[in-house]
Amino acid sequence: MIEIIPAIDLIDGKCVRLSQGDYAQKTVYNENPLEVAKMFADAGIRRLHLVDLDGAKAHHIVNHKVLEQITYGTDLIVDFGGGLKSDDDLRIAFECGAGMVTGGSIAVKNPDIFSSWITKFGGEKIILGADVKDEKIAVGGWLETTELELFPFIKNYLHQGISKVICTDISKDGMLQGPALELYKKMLAAEPDMYLIASGGVSSVRDIELLDEASVPAVITGKAIYEGKIKLKELMQFIIKN
């Protein structure tokens, strides 16, 4: 049964969503992220994906106080990402209660540091963020597309001990037009033991059902919940079975 992981994206300490990673296409959904996190926890959700979009732009952790408020104010297991570029950033994230951290750009720009995190903290604590556009890796809060191919990129880190991979198809994210189902099927066919976390494009409970039918282990959803396309009570069928 697929694991449901709601997302909270942070800019200026507020809960926001972007469309296709574009900072100019920002919608503020709630000025109190802790309130949103408590809503998820009250619905029986166990995991939260918290993204520091300010940090992604600044290249260092920014919204760690919000992380701390959520981890100490709820029982949610929080995976935190956005702007984690140094050992000090990681230290702050874990001290503020993060259960796991996600590294995307750092895994591209400074693979030695990212690899050292895997060695130091273990593959269960470090999630690989693989943001893609046309199967090429994108970095910097999606501001830059690289020439790195998705499949070799993932395989390299799986061999180093990573088990969880968040894959976001930028063309789908925030568009409410359905997830990159065929891409995820292709990824799982190539790496069946990978704990793949689908992200981007989820617009309905049916999208989640299709991902579940494709044996995708987990899904991140944000905008669909905030805009009422998915009701939390509709997710109970997945939450209860997990």
Tokens found for residue 28: 């503020």
Query: How many angstroms separate the CA atoms of 104 and 114, rounded?
Result: 9
Which pLDDT score is estimated for 146?
Answer: 85
Can you tell me the mean pLDDT for 213-237?
A: 93
Amino acid, single-letter form, for residue 91? R
Place of tokens 């296409």: 25
Residue from 87, 82, 74, 26 nearest 55 by CA = 82
Which pLDDT score is estimated for 145?
Answer: 78
Which pLDDT score is estimated for 141?
Answer: 52
Helix (H), strand (E) at residue 108? helix 105-109
pTM here?
A: 0.93
Average of per-residue pLDDT values in the chain: 92
Per-residue pLDDT of 143-194, as tens digits, reads 577 889 999 999 999 999 999 999 988 876 655 678 999 999 999 999 999 9
- Supply the residues annotated as catalytic: 9, 131
| pLDDT at residue 122 is higher than 90 | yes
Which pLDDT score is estimated for 173?
Answer: 60
Give the DSSP letter string of 151-218.
Answer: HHHHHHHHHTT--EEEEEETTTTTS-S---HHHHHHHHHH-TTSEEEEES---SHHHHHHHHHTT--E
Query: How many angstroms separate the CA atoms of 169 and 135, rounded?
Result: 8
Per-domain residue ranges for the chain? 3-241
Lowest-pLDDT range of 22-26, 70-74, 228-232: 22-26
Fold of 3-241: TIM Barrel (3.20.20)
